[in-house]
Amino acid sequence: MKLASLTIDSLTHGPWGLGRDQGKVVLVPMTAPGDQVSAEVVEEHKRYSVARTVSLLRPSPARREAPCPYAGTCGGCAWQQVSYEAQLHAKQRNVADALARVGNLSGFEVLPILPASPEFHYRRRIALHVDDRRRLGFRRAFSRELVEVDRCLIADPDADRGIPLAAEWVTRLETEISRVEILSGDRPGEVILSAAARQRLGGADERACAESVAGPVTGIVVTGPGWRRRWGDTTVSFVVDGDLTLRHDAGTFGQVNPAGNRKLVDELLSWGALGAEDSVLELYAGAGNLTLPMARRVRRVLAVEGHRQLVRNGRRNAADNGIRNIRWRGEDASAAVEDLIDRGRRFTTVVLNPPRAGAKALAPKLAALGAGRILYVSCDPATLARDLRQIAAAGYTLRRVRPVDLFPQTFHVETLAELIDSKPSGTST
């Protein structure tokens, strides 16, 4: 057994604290910056090692007692043992480090991270695994082993109350369930169960699902190989901008932290300085989270989204809110950009919010759209840095970035970045 005495210098964009043993990086989970630990190396790699804490020699002032009874076993919240102030500092540092190290970017402003409020009870969507004994829980850290839970401290109170309801419902079914998502929305008592089945729906389960849509559970969705069934109201609602409310179908992507999302939307609208003459192209538009707030302020928005159900949700949301200046295109973002360039289309502003993998294929092409400003929303600092480097190489200047904490107790962070064309055309078609 190889032991090392380490001081944890920082938190990575991942579930580890980072220390050094004779100059080599050692990654240790469940630590806090400033901890002094005795650690056992469990994996050796050329440039780094992975270790586990054997003993905590001296706790950091940034360390706290994790309030969740499952902390340290459940793999969902890798930073609960770290004070919230230290979490925010680490996220801001990780964003700045990625932009400098991966993107080789400089000369821009990193604005202070926008904190979440509250730091617990914020998550409107939680995904629980189901084992062969029909127990519900989260995966153990670095393992596929299930940790059975009956509560979750980061879940919104309605979603949290849905855990025992979901557990009871699963035990009533003949059908084998592998996963259950619990969603709650802004309508009072709005709770939806969305499950993945391994087989066809059992004969008695139609009635069991219909009977379970009662009280706190407003809707149930079960999806299996080649089939999908719904009971009750399976849409969930979120307020995004003043009185603007969006509805998502269960099983499609939506922001898990509505309060934090509203901060992000407000920040983007403030940065965009959008006016009545602006023409906006939005890529990876989803169901309208950014689209509809922008559309209320500009001449028109072209919204591109590759997931057809999200496009249907977006069109419905626009109609429900009386917004008529959005054109929706249900296609791959890269293909749409190529077509728009071929047709000579121009926009005053381009907004993109890609998935974690980023927008590597289309980032270098964005300059051909003639936008004076590009606003990029990202959930991954490394792919953001890579894409911003490509956009900058095409003639844009990174002006500022703003980290936004939508995911307290985890290493995940959202970031808004603004790039300005060095020679803006100022025209749109």
Active-site positions?
A: 379
Distance, CA of 351 to CA of 45 (rounded, Å): 39
Q: Is 322 helix (H, G, I), strand (E, B) or coil?
A: coil
Distance, CA of 399 to CA of 422 (rounded, Å): 11
- For the chain, the maximum distance between any two Cα atoms, rounded to a whole number of angstroms, is 67
- Is the omega angle on the peptide bond into residue 61 within 30 degrees of 0, that is, cis? no
CA angle, residues 352, 354, 356, in degrees to nearest 5 = 150
| Through-space distance between the first and last CA atoms of the chain, rounded to whole angstroms | 67
Encoding tokens for residue 294? 């922008």
336 touches 312 (CB < 8 A): no
Q: Is 401 helix (H, G, I), strand (E, B) or coil?
A: strand
CA-atom Rg of the chain in angstroms: 23
At residue 212, what is the residue type?
A: S
Q: Which residues contact 195 (CB under 8 A, 6 or more apart)?
A: 170, 177, 179, 180, 181, 220, 221, 222, 223
14 touches 41 (CB < 8 A): no
Q: Is 3 helix (H, G, I), strand (E, B) or coil?
A: strand
Distance, CA of 157 to CA of 124 (rounded, Å): 9
Among residues 265, 270, 330, the alpha carbon closest in space to that of 292 is found at 265
Q: What separation in angstroms does the CA of 174 have from each of 25, 127, 194, 240, 300?
A: 50, 21, 16, 39, 50
User: Which residue bears the tokens 């153990």?
Assistant: 140
Distance, CA of 426 to CA of 155 (rounded, Å): 45
Encoding tokens for residue 276? 């009545």
